[in-house]
Amino acid sequence: MYENQNIIVGLSGGVDSSVTAALLKQDGANVHGVFMQNWEDDNNDQYCSIKQDSLDAMAVADIIGIDIDIVNFATQYKDKVFAYFLQEYAAGRTPNPDVLCNAEIKFKCFLDYAIEQGAEAIATGHYARKQIRNGVHYLLRGLDNNKDQSYFLYRLQPHQLEKSLFPLGHLQKTEVRRLATELKLPTATKKDSTGICFIGERPFREFLQKYLPTHNGNMVTPEGKIVGEHVGLTFYTIGQRKGLGIGGAGEPWFVVGKDLPKNELLVVQGHDHELLYTNSLEMNQLSWTLPEKPVAGRYTCKTRYRMADAACELRYLSDDTAELLFNEPQWAVTHGQSAVLYDGEICLGGGIITATDKPLIKL
């Protein structure tokens, strides 16, 4: 299928991209690997896996029999992704840097680099599919429901999608691991990476504290009762239960809002507290995967990566802003996260959540 095509694969040192490269090579493509160094390892600290990942990527390239280059995009990553990440946290929101990393680094810097090198396309180990109908490239969900990564790819624009391949999209993860074992790839049993790539396994609060000032303050109920102390509003997100340290009897406590001017964290008791549920949201920075933006109307939407699809109605407020009205109230919709729209299997794109009908966030 890819006979003699020049394809550059993003080799991360993980099992998914290893199998991606091996499958393309089997298909007859001229495959070249690239390991992107997007983060400068501070003092070789214990949590940073970049060195090991690059060694794994090289070992995989060697076994498959392809060349590999290490390309440094750390400056672009700092400017485009990390700066935004800090700015959003400082403003009390909860950004998703992996979404931005895809749009700005993997499918922009890396894609541009690959085209300059003479590649016809890039390929990654993302669990998503593509379909071409009448010359239009559609982004579809990965077939493995549990691994589908189309959510993270929703900011890819048509020109980026056209040059991208996702050879694993029709496979189940178990099948990918089985193939890796069969092909004797050293990454066959390597643990999946978790969390935000530059933070890795490191404690989140400890990491963020290095970059953002912290101001202790009160945790209060919507009725104004002080029930605890927070260590800085930046470290909390809507729906958070762990790490609040509020004692006393009754159901667990959840974060439901932030008041930045007063430096107060709003908390409620009970997972199903009505203030944790939202009927509508507003989003900006709209980005669509198809040449035409979707018409206003009924779709499904994910308000977080791991959230189930929710039926909703899309209404445009301007060229760059829209609102979503949900059929059923949605739990813990969070400012700064992405709302991603689907039409059946097709990932249409979406935007960044800026407001909900629960005015509990005062930024």
Ligand X SMILES: Nc1ncnc2c1ncn2[C@@H]1O[C@H](COP(=O)(O)OP(=O)(O)OP(=O)(O)O)[C@@H](O)[C@H]1O
Stretch that binds ligand X, among 155-163, 191-199, 207-215, 304-312 (CB under 6 A): 191-199
72 versus 285: smaller Cβ distance to ligand X: 72
Residue from 10, 92, 257, 351 in contact with ligand X (CB under 6 A) = 10
301 labelled catalytic:
no
Binding window for ligand X (CB under 6 A); candidates: 12-20, 40-48, 241-249, 338-346: 12-20
Angstrom distance (rounded) from CA 142 to CA 120: 23
Residue number, nearest CB to ligand X: 14
* 192 belongs to the binding site for ligand X (CB under 6 A): yes
Classify strands 310-316 and 322-331 as parallel, antiparallel or unpaired.
antiparallel
Q: Tell me how crowded residue 251 is: count the other CB atoms within 10 A of its CB.
A: 11
**48 catalytically annotated:** no
In the chain the first and final C-alpha atoms are separated, in Å, by 52
Between helix 15-26 and helix 173-182 the angle, nearest 10°, is: 70
Query: In this chain, which of 2, 17, 177, 352 binds ligand X, going by CB under 6 A?
Result: 17
* 291 burial level (CB within 10 Å; 0-12, 13-18, 19+): exposed
Residues 82-141 that bind ligand X (CB under 6 A): 106, 124-126
- Among the residue ranges 11-19, 78-86, 134-142, 307-315, the one whose residues contact ligand X (CB under 6 A): 11-19
Write the CB contacts of 31 (distance below 8 Å, at least 6 apart in sequence): 7, 8, 9, 21, 24, 25, 64, 66
Residues of the binding site = 10-17, 36, 125
Q: Which residue ranges make up the annotated binding site for ATP?
A: 10-17, 36, 125
194 or 318: CB nearest ligand X: 194
Give the residue among 33, 29, 68, 22 at the shortest CA–CA distance from 182.
22
As a whole number of angstroms, the distance between CA 321 and CA 323 comes to 7
**Residue 351 interacts with ligand X (CB under 6 A)?**
no
Longest dimension (CA), the chain: 68
- The least distance separating ligand X from the CB of residue 124, rounded to whole angstroms, comes to 3
Q: Taking the alpha carbons of 136, 137, 143, 145 in that order, is the dihedral positive or negative?
A: negative
Pairing verdict, β 277-288 and 346-356: antiparallel
Q: How far is the CB of 192 from ligand X (least distance, A)?
A: 5
* Residue among 35, 107, 151, 277 that touches ligand X (CB under 6 A): 35
Site string for ligand X, 194-213 (x = CB under 6 A): ---x----------------
Residue 9 beta carbon to ligand X: minimum distance, rounded to whole angstroms: 6
Q: Is 303 in the site for ligand X (CB under 6 A)?
A: no
